[in-house]
Each structure stands twice: as C-alpha cells, then as structure tokens.
C-alpha cells in the first residue's frame, strides 16, 4: 500500500482527499504547511506527495525544492487554481510529476497519482535493465546490437504495458513510427486499432476535423458526419507524428482532449468519452520548441510522461552490418533475387558514409543495389552524398526530404530496365534475364514505372 503525503492549509480539502485515497487503496497522511511536510519526509518514507501551490509560510515551489533535496525521485503532484497553470508548468520544469487544476474530479486525481507512481516504478525497472548484458535485438523492422539501440528496446519493453503518453524523438528516417508500432503491439491494446496521423501532411484548416471529426453541415464541405482519428483509435493507440506542426489553437484542443479524456466533433454538442493511448513523435527536441515559444509547455508535459530518443544511424555504426543483411533479405524477396551479401569494398563504403537519411536512406540504397546486381554479391553501390548531416542529433531540425531516396530508387530501377531493353534490342524476356528477374516481376515493374 503506497503512502501519500498531502500538504494543504485547507483542513476540509485534506480530510476529503484522505478519504478518497483510502477508498482507492492508498495510505494517506496530511499536514497543513511546508515545514511540517519537510519533517515528515525526513522522518518517514513516502511514495508520493500532493501539494497545494499557494499556501502561507512556504509556497508549493519552495516545498518542492526542499523535498526534492531529501528524496530526488519522489513523485510530486501540484494542486493549482485554473488561472495559475503557468506556475504549475514551471513546477514541472523544476521536477514536479504532474499537476491537477481545481476543481478536479476524484477519478482524474487517482489516474494522475497512479501514472506518477507507475513512472517511478518504470524508471527503477529501466535502471535494472541498463545493468544487464548487451544482447542483440531484432523485431518489427528494427534491428540493433549497439548500446544505444538496446536502450531504446529496453524503454519500449518497459513502457509498452502501461498507458503513459510517450514522446518519441529522432531525426527523419530513424524509425519513429516503427517504434510507436512496437509499443502498441506489445501493449494490452494490441488487438485494437493503431491509427497513425502525420500532422505535417494535413492542412491547418483540416487538422481539427481530421483529429476530432465533424457533424453534417458543420462547415461548407461537411456533406456527412465523419469520425475523427481519435474516435477511430478508441480502445487502441493514436500516433501523432511531427506534432510540432500543430498550430497553437489545435495544441489547445489536443490538450483539452488529453485532460478531459473526451472530445466533441466540430458542430457537435455531445462530448464523446475516449479510451485512447497517445504516442507522439518529432524530428526535433520538443523542449527546444517550448523554449522558443513554438510549442505549449503545458501540452509538452502532458505528452512527455515518458520519452524515447532514437539515435541517428551515424551514432550507431555497429548496427550497419545487421541492417545491411536484413535489407538484402527484404530486397531479395521483393525482386526475386538471391543476393547473399555485399563485398568488403562496398561494406567499407557503407561504413564511411554518414547516412543523413538514417535507416530509411540505408534501406533504399541497399534495395537499389540488390536490384542492379546480377550475381550473388553486391560489388557496386551508389551512395548519394548530396545531403550533409547536421553536427548534432535531435537537437537541430533535420530537413532531409523523406521521399528523395524513394524517388532515386525508382529512377535507378527505370534506368536499369531501359538499359537492359536497349541491350536486348527490345526483347523483354532477354532483358528480364539480364537483370536476373523473372518475367512476371519484370512486366509488373514495366507497368508500375510506366514503361511501354
């Protein structure tokens, strides 16, 4: 039974909170000021603190600082008035776990408490995993044996069974959506929907309708009622990619949906209760966007209950060999090839490249090389050097074009096929054999690439 310390100068509120906590299986104690709270923490072991922001003698910020000196890891929840949210957010910057806005309902308080306690437990479990051996991992399209990727896999393993919101940060091409999918598949929601939304691909005028839905006639083009992505994900997981693309107005709507656990369609009057786990991703450090006033701090702390940073490929070169092997296998299946490996010279070239497009760039490069290889070993590889990586990882925004390597791959396929057709005098059967490709695949490629 977890012990919880309540700090509030309002005797009636202390009494009410104690009763609610006891009914929900906790062991509460309460004091009326910060000085008594500090003595309690020094004397007894508590699992969590609930503290009012504004009190005489010592305010919540000062109490937070003093208690964190005694027990740096103790979860600390701030109680604040609606108009004082800015100070509550500042308290979270200083180490508070979360905040509750008065008046709050008992269910919201219990959920917030359990999440804070769960996160403390997860951090302890993660520390245990960090001390274990460095085993390789392969699954869901992500491969790695490097310490950096083991850390990512350990975090996925720890956080997946929970309902915590997870912020996934990493440069373009590092596999953020794959990690989000791994979390969903390893959770109790695995048999429910996984809905991915690219916030950067939806026009500002449509994003609210896309996320929350609309009623018929809500606006000019609303010809019929439409469910939003949150409704579609109900019971499951919603993944909001490139979250920094949301406008301030839509950030507020998202924050409200998270806090109230319900949404209202555009033009609707009925609030719809939601049971959705939220995963988000960005290719920059979201904290930097908050510091530059480009993203709301209160929403940031709601989304960042747990975060996973995916390292760029250039920082985990030890995984290159495993990735190359995996992508050769995939390309063999796609192109009906039997390539076994790359030559030593090609592998040296792969190791020298900085891979600004990360895993996505490597995958498309290997895919293209396998397509153009007629034997069992890749002897030549075309690595594009026209994109220079930033000299930092997630700290700087990566403007790498997500589609550039897909475009290059299609161009390489088309060039190879046209060259084979030219050499064979237009004989498609011979051209297919020259490319070590069966005729069915060859004709499918002709059609998809628009070659008559």
Convert the pLDDT of each residue in 190-207 to its tens digit. 999 999 999 988 888 889
Instruction: Report if residue 326 sits inside a domain.
Output: yes
Q: Of 93, 56, 99, which is closest to residue 76 (Cα–Cα)?
A: 99
Instruction: Report if residue 131 sits inside a domain.
Output: no
Helix (H) or strand (E) holding 5: strand 3-7
Say how far apart CA 358 and CA 187 lie, in whole Å. Answer: 27
What DSSP designation does 28 have?
E
Q: At 38, list the tokens.
A: 């500090």
Instruction: Report if residue 29 sits inside a domain.
Output: yes
Say how far apart CA 164 and CA 280 lie, in whole Å. Answer: 11
Q: Does residue 281 sit in helix, strand or coil?
A: strand
The two counts, helices (H) then strands (E), for the chain are 18, 16
Instruction: Report if residue 45 sits inside a domain.
Output: yes
Q: Which class for 291: exposed (0-12), middle (13-18), buried (19 or more C-beta within 10 A)?
A: exposed
| Domain coverage including residue 325 | 314-448
Higher per-residue confidence, 322 vs 145: 322
Is residue 282 located within the same domain as residue 357? no
| Of 95, 126, 157, the domain-final residue | 126
| Of 126, 147, 164, the domain-final residue | 126
Spell out the residues 6+ positions from residue 350 whose beta carbon is closer than 8 angstroms to its own: 320, 324, 342, 362, 381, 383
Confidence of residue 362 (pLDDT cuts 50, 70, 90): very high
Q: Which class for 171: exposed (0-12), middle (13-18), buried (19 or more C-beta within 10 A)?
A: buried
- Radius of gyration of the chain measured on its C-alpha atoms: 27
Q: Measured between alpha carbons, how far is residue 213 from residues 251, 263, 392 in Å?
A: 16, 9, 39
Number of domains in the chain: 3
Instruction: Report if residue 133 sits inside a domain.
Output: no
Per residue in 57-98, pLDDT (tens digit) is 899 999 999 999 999 989 999 998 866 778 888 888 888 988
Pairing of strands 306-309, 341-342: unpaired
167 - beta bridge partners? 280, 307
The CATH number that applies at residue 193 is: 3.40.50.300
The CATH number that applies at residue 376 is: 1.10.8.60
Q: Percent of the chain at pLDDT above 70?
A: 88
Is residue 154 located within the same domain as residue 293? yes
Q: Of 200, 187, 172, 409, which is closest to residue 278 (Cα–Cα)?
A: 187
Is residue 213 located within the same domain as residue 117? no
Q: Measured between alpha carbons, how far is residue 422 from residues 425, 434, 437, 446, 450 in Å?
A: 5, 11, 16, 14, 16
Is residue 389 predicted with pLDDT exceeding 60? Answer: no
pLDDT value, residue 8: 94
pLDDT value, residue 101: 86
What DSSP designation does 355 have?
-
Q: Measured between alpha carbons, how far is residue 446 from residues 364, 418, 440, 442, 451 in Å?
A: 19, 10, 10, 6, 5
Instruction: Report if residue 12 sits inside a domain.
Output: yes
The CATH number that applies at residue 10 is: 3.40.50.2300
Is residue 349 located within the same domain as residue 233? no
Pairing of strands 237-241, 98-102: unpaired
Cα 249–chain centre separation:
22
Is residue 252 located within the same domain as residue 370? no
Instruction: Report if residue 132 sits inside a domain.
Output: no
Q: At 311, list the tokens.
A: 């390292």
Is residue 16 located within the same domain as residue 147? no
The region of weakest confidence among 36-40, 114-118, 294-298 is 114-118
Is residue 113 predicted with pLDDT exceeding 90? Answer: yes
pLDDT value, residue 399: 37
Is residue 281 located within the same domain as residue 157? yes
Say how far apart CA 162 and CA 119 lie, in whole Å. Answer: 9
Highest mean pLDDT among 165-169, 189-193, 322-326, 408-412: 165-169
Is residue 22 located within the same domain as residue 145? no
| Of 252, 280, 309, the domain-final residue | 309
Q: Of 369, 365, 368, 367, which is closest to residue 380 (Cα–Cα)?
A: 369
**Long-range contacts formed by 32-37: CB under 8 A, 24+ apart:** 32/7, 32/8, 33/7, 33/9, 33/57, 33/58, 34/7, 34/58, 34/59, 34/62, 34/63, 34/66, 37/5, 37/7, 37/63, 37/67
Is residue 330 located within the same domain as residue 353? yes
Instruction: Report if residue 437 sits inside a domain.
Output: yes
Is residue 381 located within the same domain as residue 331? yes
Say if CB 428 and CB 443 are below 8 A apart.
Answer: yes
Say how far apart CA 172 and CA 400 lie, in whole Å. Answer: 7
Is residue 55 located within the same domain as residue 191? no
> What value does the mean pLDDT take over residues 133-151?
66
Is residue 143 located within the same domain as residue 277? yes
């Amino acid at each position: 039974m977890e012990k919880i310390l309540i700090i509030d100068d309002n005797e009636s509120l202390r009494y009410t909170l104690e009763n609610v906590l006891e009914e929900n299986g906790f062991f509460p104690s309460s004091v009326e000021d910060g000085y008594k709270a500090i003595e309690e923490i020094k004397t007894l072991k508590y699992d969590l603190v609930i503290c009012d922001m504004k009190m005489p003698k010592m305010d919540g910020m000062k109490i937070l600082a003093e208690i964190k000196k005694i027990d740096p890891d103790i979860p600390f929840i701030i109680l604040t008035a609606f108009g004082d949210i800015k100070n509550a957010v500042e308290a979270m910057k200083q180490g508070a776990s979360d905040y509750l806005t008065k008046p709050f309902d008992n269910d919201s308080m219990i959920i917030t408490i359990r999440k804070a306690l769960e996160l403390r437990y997860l951090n302890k479990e993660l520390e245990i995993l960090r001390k274990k051996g460095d085993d390789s991992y392969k699954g869901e399209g992500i491969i790695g044996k490097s310490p950096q990727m083991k850390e990512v896999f350990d975090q996925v393993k720890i956080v997946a069974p929970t309902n915590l919101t997870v912020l996934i940060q990493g440069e373009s091409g590092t596999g953020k959506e794959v990690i989000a999918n791994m979390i969903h598949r390893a959770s109790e929601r695995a048999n429910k929907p996984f809905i991915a939304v690219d916030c950067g691909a939806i026009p500002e005028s449509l994003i609210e309708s896309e996320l929350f839905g609309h009623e018929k006639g809500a606006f000019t083009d609303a010809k019929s009622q439409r469910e939003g992505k949150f409704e579609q994900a109900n019971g499951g997981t919603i993944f909001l990619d490139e979250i920094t693309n949301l406008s301030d107005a839509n950030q507020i709507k998202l924050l409200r949906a998270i806090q109230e656990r319900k949404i209202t369609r555009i033009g609707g009057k009925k609030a719809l209760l939601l049971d959705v786990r939220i995963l988000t991703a960005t290719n920059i450090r979201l904290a930097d966007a908050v510091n530059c006033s480009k993203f709301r701090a209160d929403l940031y702390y709601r989304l960042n209950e747990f975060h996973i940073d995916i390292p760029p490929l250039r920082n985990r070169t030890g995984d290159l060999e495993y990735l190359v092997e995996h992508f050769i296998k995939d390309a063999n299946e796609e192109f009906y090839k039997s390539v076994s490996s790359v030559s030593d010279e090609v592998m040296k070239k792969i190791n020298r490249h900085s891979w600004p497009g990360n895993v996505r760039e490597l995958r498309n490069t290997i895919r293209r090389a396998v397509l153009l290889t007629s034997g069992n070993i890749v002897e030549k590889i075309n690595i594009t050097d026209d994109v220079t990586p930033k000299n930092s990882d997630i700290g700087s925004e990566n403007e790498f074009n997500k589609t550039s390597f897909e475009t290059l791959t299609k161009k390489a396929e088309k060039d190879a096929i046209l060259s084979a057709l030219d050499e064979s005098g237009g004989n498609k059967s011979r051209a297919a054999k020259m490319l070590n490709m069966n005729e069915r695949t060859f004709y499918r490629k002709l059609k998809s690439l628009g070659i008559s």
